[in-house]
Amino acid sequence: MKKLCFYIPSILAVLVIVFCFTGFLFAPNNPDHVDVTLHFLAPCREYPFGTDEMGRCVFSRVLYGGFTTLGIVLFGSAIVVIVGILLGLLLGQGKAGRNVIFESLLNAVTAIPPVAYLIIFISAWGNSISTMVVALTISLVLRMVKLIKTKTEIECQKAYVLCAVASGASVPRILFVHILPNVIRDALHFVCLSGGEMILSISGFSFVGLSLGDNVIDWGAMVSDSRNYIHTSPGLMLYPMLFIFLCVLSFNVLGCQLEKGGYIHA
Amino acid sequence: MRIFRTFTFRKIVELILTLFLVTIISFLLMKISPVDPAEAYSRRTFSVFGQEQVDQLREQMGLNQPLLIQYGNWVRNAFHLDFGTSLFNGHDVLTAVSNAMGISLSIVLLAALIQAVGILLVGSLCYLCHARWPNILLTALCIAGVSLPPFFFASTFIDIFAVNFRWLSVTSNSGIARYLPAAICLSISGIAFYSQLLAKNIEHEMNEDYAMYARCRGLSESRILIHHAVPHALAGMVPSFLQMIGISLAGSAIVERIFSLPGLGYTIIDSVLYRDAPMIHATILFLAFFLVLCNTLADIPQRFFQKGQESKEASV
């Protein structure tokens, strides 16, 4: 029973994220359907969150926006986890990762925070979904490689790895069977925390006017579009904001739970 | 002394490498960008223009040369502190960027100050009333503070204080009042995050052996807290706090935009919207420089702590 209580926050967080990501499948209305006669409707059975200034269904738009924003974050994070862990393990184990030039290069690249990478990429390419995915992936992958590399180097010193070597385990077996379970929790913790941060930055940039594209629905743009109507219909701004809050909160909760341990038994 | 020298040397190498990498990235990305600065410029300036006009402009800007030569030229000029003129309004880039840098720095430093005070207050409050309802309330507030986007604070701040109450005008303040709202909005998430960390650290320190020893000596709980636990807890947080100052310079872009303060982030976003190549390169260079500077500053106290510990261990 106590164990179950411990898992509840994580399960809730995962549910929220899955709901926000796949919710667009259950959207009651077409998010781009404009019907000006139905603008600023109060919430009703057909439009659960009401309608916006052009008569579009806010609930459907929020769900589609979640697909865009979370899609960027989840897709980027998946690449980051896979590539980052692979590279990190290989570099941490071999001699190749130990030379001075490589290390200072890695330090130099990771000295710049992810937000700054987003700014650099946006400033060169303009904001779009592909820019966001590329910028997010590149900035986080390098940090992940550094994290896993350092962790692997520490693990390699430990007795169990020496024992595994002595009993004749091959290098891939040592890396993936023995070391990987010990580093994966740090990797997931890192991804969860940066995922929340990324949602904030992505919606922030589209909020200040660097939209993700002309016909792309996303939470930041929804909030900034509805700011003009905050006094007449505050729901327009509050619903997407609530979903941003819930998603970031879920990522943070997941990160905390992973840090506390018990989620994955290594 | 030798360790110190190699440390300085390594930091300088890292600084140069970072700046080199960042500028080459911004040039590379600019090159493979779908929008051409020359075309964007002519679309903005002339109502009617032909292809040859754009080509001529491109030649004038030196955009038809190979990337390496462009980059070499830019670096050579940068060494003479000549970053060209803005394509958008023809102002000198260096003056524009240093003005923006001044504004951004005032916001970020003010925010850092507010954060330092806020973290100390909220963190010790969290510790003092732990396991009671104010702590639960504070923790919930802190979690909300970390999870809510800064642009929400900023826009709500304007909507409430400037539009509803008319306490402040958003545009025409001068002095500290001009930067204060932005700094407050910027510092909320930092306070929320670090005060939790501080509370946790203080609790950890209060359970250490030396705190036990101090209790045995008959020192009062508050004296142990103020003279022993808090300094120890703070010392562990200083490096990451300094790094965070650097990061918030990049993160302030959004808040500056909302408060219409022409800081560094504001300038970057502006120059992105106008495809203003010289401005983009210069702002990114300055941003990276400041970030690396903050990282280096964050490393220095860490080195000293390490050294102190090593010498302590050696003497034992």
Q: Is A264 exposed, middle or buried (0-12, 13-18, 19+ CB in 10 A)?
A: exposed
Q: Does domain B93-315 have CATH number 3.30.2010.10?
A: no
Q: Is A106 an interface residue toward B (CB < 8 Å)?
A: no
Residues in CB range of B101: below 8 A, 6 or more apart: B263, B264, B286, B290
pLDDT for position A263: 43
Which one is predicted more confidently, B169 or A177? Answer: A177
Read off the DSSP letter of residue A47.
S
For chain B, give the mean pLDDT: 79
Contacts of A63 (CB under 8 A, 6+ apart): A20, A23, A24, A26, A27, A31
Q: Which residues pair with B92 in a beta bridge?
A: B85
The C-alpha angle with vertex B171 and arms to B170 and B174, in degrees rounded to 5, equals 100
Please state, in angstroms and rounded to a whole number, the distance separating the CA atoms of residues A149 and B269: 35
Looking at residue B182, its pLDDT comes to 84
Residue in chain A nearest B9 by alpha carbon: A104
Task: Please give the pLDDT value at position B166.
Answer: 67
Contact A249 B147 (CB under 8 A): yes
pLDDT confidence bin for A81, thresholds 50/70/90: very high
A68, A73, A76, A80: CA torsion to nearest 10: -170
Residue B185 pLDDT greater than 70, yes or no:
yes
CA distance, residue B155 to nearest chain A CA (Å): 8
- What is the Cα–Cα distance from A92 to A77, expressed in whole angstroms? 21
Assembly ipTM: 0.76
Share of chain B above pLDDT 70, in %: 86
The reply to whether A123 touches chain B by the CB within 8 Å rule is yes
Is B30 in Cβ contact with A230 (below 8 Å)?
Answer: no
Q: Which pair of structure tokens corresponds to residue A192?
A: 């969860």
The set of residues, in sequence order, having a beta carbon less than 8 Å from that of A251 and lying 6+ positions away, is A13, A17, A192, A193, A195, A196, A199
Looking at chain B, which residue has its C-alpha nearest residue A221? B151
Q: Which residue did the predictor score with more confidence, A26 or A251?
A: A251
**Mean pLDDT, chain A, integer:** 82
| Amino acid B1: pLDDT | 57
Cα–Cα dist B228/B169, whole Å: 45
Residue A51 pairs in a beta bridge with A57
**pLDDT at res. B114:** 92
Return the pLDDT at B16.
82
Cα distances (Å, whole numbers) of residue A238 to A220, A245, B25, B189, B251: 11, 10, 38, 19, 23
Return the structure tokens found at B40.
Answer: 């964007």
pLDDT at B3: 65
Matching residue, tokens 């009062």? B220
3-class SS letters over B132-159: CHHHHHHHHHHHHHHHCCHHHHHHHHHH
pTM score, whole prediction: 0.81
What are the extents of the domains in chain B?
13-79, 93-315
Q: Does A245 touch chain B (CB under 8 A)?
A: yes
pLDDT for the residue numbered B313? 52
Asked if the model's pLDDT at residue B26 lies above 80, the reply is: no
* A-chain residue closest to B37, CA distance: A124
| A66 in Cβ contact with A243 (< 8 Å) | yes
pLDDT tens-place string over residues B223-257: 888 888 888 888 878 888 888 888 888 778 888 88
Chain B residues with CB under 8 Å of A233 CB are none
pLDDT in tens, B277-294: 788 888 888 888 888 888
B184 membership: H or E segment, kind and range: helix B176-206
For chain B, give the percent of residues with pLDDT over 90.
Answer: 3
Q: What is the pLDDT of residue A61?
A: 85
Per-residue pLDDT, averaged over A202-221, amounts to 79
The per-residue pLDDT for range A113-153, each reduced to its tens digit, is 788 788 778 777 777 888 888 888 888 898 898 888 888 88
| Share of chain A residues as helix, strand and coil, in percent rounded to the nearest 5 | 75, 0, 25
**Do the Cβ atoms of B33 and A125 come within 8 Å?**
yes
Residues in chain A: 266
Going by pLDDT thresholds of 50, 70 and 90, the confidence category of residue A74 is very high
The answer to whether B145 touches B191, Cβ cutoff 8 Å, is: yes
Confidence (pLDDT) at A181: 87
For chain A, what is the total number of helices (H) and then of strands (E)? 10, 0
Using DSSP's 3-state secondary structure scheme, residue A150 falls into helix
**Is B133's pLDDT higher than 50?**
yes
Nearest to B254 among A108, A205, A245 (CB): A205
Mean pLDDT over A19-42 rounds to 78
pLDDT at A80: 92
A51 or A84, which is more confident? A84
Answer whether A208 touches B (CB < 8 Å).
Answer: yes
Is A266 a residue whose pLDDT tops 60?
no
pLDDT for res A265: 41
Cα distance between residue A48 and residue A81, in whole Å: 37
Q: Which residue of B has its CA nearest to A108?
A: B18
Contact A124 B26 (CB under 8 A): yes
**Measured between CB atoms, which of A107, A123, A196 is closest to B14?**
A107
Q: Contact B70/B62 with Cβ under 8 angstroms?
A: yes
Q: Kindly list the distances between the CA atom of residue B21 and the CA atoms of A164, A242, B255, in Å, as whole numbers in the listed order.
A: 40, 39, 27
- pLDDT at site B314: 56
CB B179 within 8 A of CB B203: no
**pLDDT value at B147 more than 80:** yes
Nearest Cα of chain B lies from the Cα of A90 at a distance, in angstroms, of 24
Q: Nearest by CB to B17, which of A104, A113, A223?
A: A104
- Per-residue pLDDT at B169: 63
Which chain A residues are Cβ-neighbours of B251 within 8 angstroms?
A: 115, 201
